[in-house]
Structure 1
């Protein structure tokens, strides 16, 4: 169940139809979940999640993109070029830390098939990959993610409400000492939509604001402190890269409100894109983008939407997750939300 089904409402802005990142028109999400029991108590509890900004050719029709590093203990790929050029030209892929290379190469292969000109008559392609370390539950050294898993995550991408919890890249993740993973939420301003999807893998239960206010700490939570979160924000608002970066910086407000302190070993990273404009890879035309003014009331609403949707997406990652048994018999319980 989503967190609202437990009677918990976050913020003031209304949600979209699905209360999901896919409420931003054209955005699709796909998962591939890998669960396998090995020998000697080792298991595979990992996967891949793909976020597609639109259903066209992303290399030929890029979107405005930006990233913001809240705390940089992470192994992401592709963000240097995103920050330099202000565009995203690939699906945004999420997985575990040691699978970044496999996911990067596999996604490149898919894009080479889709666009034969890459590396031939035009430049190479910049693929964005985010990660969190699922090694508490997943035998991460086994490096279980393979090319076919990436292909299936991309093929499974759908614009309907995305699956959440212990699925895809979130299969082995832990949040506030309980089972975390994929969570999503959306907000509607007067004219635009903001959607957020998170891969949550951070925090100590004693810092979890919901637990502290409700007095619902449990004995089952694990005691790990460090961890990570990848926050992906989509919007249909017409903004520049600079404005988009300002919007995604507000995701850290929602993250902090859940109880995160951005610990030393935490990779807390936000990636954002706008679907309002498609930027052709090659064009003879000079392009003028029509964008919002910074001092518009609408911009304030977008800031608020980013914070609210991030906070609720994190809570949804907990509310939708299931108790999971991992390597060496480790059990991470689902958080015991109650109505």
Structure 2
């Protein structure tokens, strides 16, 4: 069971959470993991599926925002240009991006034999963080089979968090980081949700600020900020590409609340999608209807993105257990720090 901020008496904002307090509170969204732990190999793949159907044929509206671009992703340029996403999102370590992209392409071709023959090619979406301190990243341990296993594991229940999937070897603010998730319930035109999943691997030791103002490691940070974070936001509200881009930008405020400043060597990237707006690959009409949120109501989405991002990062750290990885490199658990102080 994931440990969350609520288990430690912490609060991130004022909006209510969804039932699971996870990205899977957005109907149809699924998450799966493949975890690799063997000696110095501590890595994996995490898959986020916007829905359980054929994404190439039934695309979702999407946008991507680069907070700081020290990262090695695949697919974001086309997402931003066309405003749609046509594969699941895979998260992994930096040197496994190409492998995961190939796995997504093979999976899409298997489902859609016309790709690259009688219709266009497919745009795989892959994000990464560098788990090198805890994982032998040079071993290139992640295979296409591992990526496909993460896709096959995807389900719409509770999200496993912490040292799992792509988060296995990640660090955050000098503690153990990893996979974290959170959601907010939004009453706009009915009950809707905005959910966030993060791969947290950023923040200098000593910079972390908890929601109650405490700083778990108040030593002055001396190292450069070279970490990264991938932030995936999902909502079932019908947003169009420009609105999703605006929501994705607010993820930066969520991580800033924790004390980071996304330094020169940090790769901080947000991907947002809406299951409430779909694009049929085989659409034949010249004009198609589009449903979109009244822009005057978007502030609630902005608040939800900030609160859920902040909470997802903390959940990634609280769910992560203390970890010793490659060469004896150790990361303590934030949950242990709080328990030692009676919280």
TM-score normalised according to structure 2 size: 0.94
Cα offset for 1:159? 0.3
- The runs of at least 4 consecutive aligned structure 1 residues that moved more than 4 Å come to 221-224
The one of 149, 153, 174 aligned to 1:152? 149
Preserved contact between residue 10 and residue 212 of structure 2 (Cα < 8 Å): no
Structure 1 residue aligned with 2:194: 194
* Structure 1 stretches lacking a partner, 5+ long: 38-42
Residues 10 and 211, structure 2, Cα contact 8 Å, conserved in 1: no
Verify the 8 A CA contact 2:68 2:266 in the aligned structure 1: yes
Select the residue among 45, 48, 51 that pairs with 1:48: 45
Unaligned runs of 5+ in 2: none
1:135 is aligned, of 127, 132, 137, to 132
CA RMSD of aligned residues (A): 1.6
1:3 is matched with 5
Which of 6, 17, 21 does residue 19 from structure 2 map onto?
Answer: 17
Shift of 1:274: 0.2
- Deviation of the 1:337 alpha carbon: 2.2
**Contact 1:206–1:212 (8 Å) recurs in 2:** no
Aligned residues: 331
* CA deviation map 1:238-289 (0-9, x unaligned): 1110011011111111110011110111000000000002211111123111
- Cα deviation 1:38-86 (Å, max 9, x = unaligned): xxxxx10000000000000000000000000000000000000001100
2:109 counterpart of 1:112:
yes
Conserved? CA contact 2:46–2:150, under 8 Å: yes
Cα deviation for residue 309 of structure 1 reads 0.2
SS in 2 for 1:63: strand
Matched, 1:251 2:248: no
Match of 2:180 in 1: 183
2:328 aligned with 1:329: yes
CA distance, structure 1, for counterparts of residue 294 and residue 134 of structure 2: 46
The corresponding residue for 1:40 is none
Q: 2:81 aligns with which of 59, 79, 84?
A: 84
Cα deviations by residue, 1:153-210 (Å, 9 ceiling, x for unpaired):
0000010011000100000000000100000000011132100000000111211012
Spell out, residue by residue over 1:78-103, the C-alpha distance to the aligned partner (whole angstroms, 9 max, x if none).
Answer: 00000110000000010000000101
Partner of 2:263: 263
For 1:75 and 1:216, locate their aligned partners in 2 and report how far apart those are by CA, in whole Å: 31
2:123 to 118, 121, 126: 126
